Structure 1
Amino acid sequence: MAVIRPGQLERTLRDRVAGGAFFFFGDEDYLRDEAVGKVVTAYLDPATRDFNFDQPRGSDVPAETLASMIATPPMMAEHRVVVVRDAQGLSNTARTVVEAAVKAPPPGLILVIAAAIPSGSKAKFYDELKKHAVSIEFAPLSQDDAPGWVMETGRDELGVEVDPDAARALVAGMGVELGMLGAELRKLAAYVQDRKRVTLDDVRAVGGIIPRQDRWAWFDLITERRFREAIDTLPILLESGENGVGLVIGMGGQLLKVALVCAGGQGALERELKPFQKWMARRLVPVARKWTLPEVDQALAELLRTDRLLKSASLSDRQAIEELLLRMWAIGRRDGARAA
């Protein structure tokens, strides 16, 4: 059985009426636990929940107890749900019990196994689970993925549209801690009420921590060729904890996206963006008109030069990035003036 994407879970729950096994793995605890909750809600009757729900932890449950939980039939309901949390802590004997149940689930059993697979593990246990259960990996979201997650969660779970600038400001201020971001989103949804739209002003009003200069807004200055503003706000960005190498990597990612638009249009970019980054395409297409493909190539060459300087020369991060921005500002000005 193939590993499916997180977004396919709800459709799977709608179609899967006979029960079976689910394996949720990966290091993103918040999303993994959220998926477990969706399965429990889909299959458990609230009226008989107390009789038909067990959630042992792998490091605590003896194999015999786990086998008994799995073998117990549903009571006054169609399904019984057993959630094995922290399954990486199961003993070898308990793993054998779980494998057998995943391969041939007892009638009415919904078995959910949640685990953070240890780095470098080659245990066949996890391969067997992926082979026989509905499996989804929940990897930690990157900083670039998190604003898209905020927008999607706001729309799909809370019924509010979160403006991209508001989503980016939330992540810039709070980091990629999905539990905290989810709590802040619920506060914002309650604040905007029937307006159903969260703006940057709403984030400020609710008391969200908004940095004076966030990295995404600064990268926008680069792609929009507003180099004078980028130079002026660079010290603020560096004071907030950013470093030269990280900024070079971030600029490179943005310019590669611009290059895709220059070479193949919006469709080319959309095909390459990860799911939580698809929204960027609409934003970058107008900006890409400010660049030609040769100019992007020149800018990427300057980024590579600066990366080497940062790793080998005695220049400070500020000196190296300021020089980079001036050199990028000059691109295209030899043949005609560009906006600052």
Structure 2
Amino acid sequence: MIPKDLRRALGSDPGGVFYLHGEDEFRKGEAAAALVAAHLDESTRDFNLDRLHGSELDAETLASRLGTPPMMAEWRVIEIRETESLAGSSRMRDLLLDAVRTPPPGLALILVCTVPARSSARFYRDLAKMARSLEFRAVGRDDLPGWLMEWALERHGRTLEAEAARAMAAGVGSDLAILAQEVAKLDAVAAEGESITMAHVEAAGTRVPRQDRWGWFDLVGKRRFPEALEGLHTLMHHGESGVGLTIGLATHMLRLGVAVHGGQRALESALPARQRWLARSSAAQARGWTPAEVEEAVEGLLEVDRLLKSSPLADLHHLESWLLARMCRAEEVA
């Protein structure tokens, strides 16, 4: 039986050809391992599992492996990494596409592929169309906290609090394999039934920055502009770019705009799945803004973006000016 989290894309029946592609090597590897485990029993696994690399394969070996039946089991599994290395050989392409069209009985063929950038080769399109295909796009920076919360719940049955997830994403970086190891470490630290909190993150020794970008966006959203000014210096000191912060902050202000006009439910509907955890806090922040203030703030950020790309002044100067303008406007209203 195909693992539950893969069934929507790949179906529930075992066997056939699975095409796992995209930029995210970690999640492709996890999916491939789950498919192997779903098809093979431990007692006969060694007889029925071939793990191959496309860069080391020749046509004769591939044809032989594809034609080998299961031994003392229902399924035989062939996992081919670096499938893109086979695209240059017409013989290799034909062997794989024939297997896709007419899967050999008792075979589960798992093709793990990273399509070369800007490639328009028909081979990849045919695999995606005819095989049981699932694309693993890279998890974007803004999606990392949501992915961490999702991973902790699905893999460990733990609730990972948003503050802890944000701190991990800011402190550890975007390597999902390392982040997954950190979640496993936190699962061991937390008592049974506990949610994973910032206290657990700190107790486990995970490097936590004094200021993370998501917390900084919240300071602005909560109109705590003096603290946001101080936090801006910290973020820039730790390597954040003016353009990156401006784009992220503009996105945050647009979220507030959706919530100002439509409330939390409208924002939840508009957000990508891995960012829906932001809806509650963003809706709360939105209550402190008027539609006109959000519009003015976004227009100001568009100007900041233009200046960042054309002005000789430091990035910090332009973002400071934007924050100071918000402070002055808030004082005028008060």
TM range, smaller chain: over 0.9
Aligned-residue CA RMSD (Å): 1.7
Task: Kindly state the Cα deviation for residue 309 of structure 1 after the two structures are TM-superposed.
Answer: 2.1
Task: Kindly state the Cα deviation for residue 13 of structure 1 after the two structures are TM-superposed.
Answer: 6.6
Please list, as runs of the form range in 1=range in 2, the aligned pairs for 1:2-13 lying within 5 A after superposition: 8-10=5-7
Judge conservation of contact 2:9–2:133 (CA < 8 Å) in 1: no
Judge conservation of contact 1:73–1:108 (CA < 8 Å) in 2: yes
TM-score, length of structure 1 as denominator length: 0.93
Q: Which residue of structure 2 aligns with residue 105 of structure 1?
A: 103
Q: Which residue of structure 2 aligns with residue 16 of structure 1?
A: 13
Deviations 1:226-254 (A, max 9, x none): 10111122211110001222111111010
Task: Give the whole-Å Cα distance in 2 for the aligned partners of 1:314 and 1:31.
Answer: 41
Aligned in 2, Cα 1:118/1:14: closer, same or farther, shift over 3 Å? Answer: closer
TM-score, length of structure 2 as denominator length: 0.94
Please list, as runs of the form range in 1=range in 2, the aligned pairs for 1:63-212 lying within 5 A after superposition: 63-90=59-86, 91-212=89-210
Aligned in 2, Cα 1:135/1:222: closer, same or farther, shift over 3 Å? Answer: same
* Aligned residue among 218, 221, 224 for 1:223: 221
Task: Give the whole-Å Cα distance in 2 for the aligned partners of 1:78 and 1:295.
Answer: 64
Aligned length: 330
Q: Which residue of structure 2 aligns with residue 3 of structure 1?
A: none
Judge conservation of contact 1:21–1:112 (CA < 8 Å) in 2: yes
1:315 aligned to 2:300? no
Judge conservation of contact 2:10–2:134 (CA < 8 Å) in 1: no
- 3-state SS of the aligned residue for 1:51? helix
Aligned in 2, Cα 1:316/1:11: closer, same or farther, shift over 3 Å? Answer: closer
- 3-state SS of the aligned residue for 2:288? coil
- 3-state SS of the aligned residue for 1:122? coil
Aligned in 2, Cα 1:323/1:207: closer, same or farther, shift over 3 Å? Answer: same
Amino acid at match of 1:48: T
Task: Give the whole-Å Cα distance in 2 for the aligned partners of 1:70 and 1:193.
Answer: 48
**Structure 2: runs of 5+ lacking an equivalent:** none
Task: Kindly state the Cα deviation for residue 271 of structure 1 after the two structures are TM-superposed.
Answer: 2.3
Please list, as runs of the form range in 1=range in 2, the aligned pairs for 1:279-294 lying within 5 A after superposition: 279-294=277-292
Task: Kindly state the Cα deviation for residue 7 of structure 1 after the two structures are TM-superposed.
Answer: 8.2
- 3-state SS of the aligned residue for 1:46? coil
- 3-state SS of the aligned residue for 1:15? coil
Q: Which residue of structure 1 aligns with residue 295 of structure 2?
A: 297
Please list, as runs of the form range in 1=range in 2, the aligned pairs for 1:225-304 lying within 5 A after superposition: 225-304=223-302
Judge conservation of contact 2:222–2:285 (CA < 8 Å) in 1: yes
Task: Kindly state the Cα deviation for residue 222 of structure 1 after the two structures are TM-superposed.
Answer: 0.7
- Between the aligned residues of both structures, percent identity stands at 43
Judge conservation of contact 1:189–1:196 (CA < 8 Å) in 2: no
Task: Give the whole-Å Cα distance in 2 for the aligned partners of 1:129 and 1:107.
Answer: 19
Deviations 1:200-226 (A, max 9, x none): 111111100111111111111011111
Task: Kindly state the Cα deviation for residue 265 of structure 1 after the two structures are TM-superposed.
Answer: 2.1
Task: Give the whole-Å Cα distance in 2 for the aligned partners of 1:309 and 1:170.
Answer: 32
Task: Give the whole-Å Cα distance in 2 for the aligned partners of 1:201 and 1:92.
Answer: 56
Deviations 1:54-109 (A, max 9, x none): 11111111111111111111111111111111100013311210110011101111
Task: Give the whole-Å Cα distance in 2 for the aligned partners of 1:243 and 1:211.
Answer: 16
User: More displaced, 220-229 or 276-285?
Assistant: 276-285
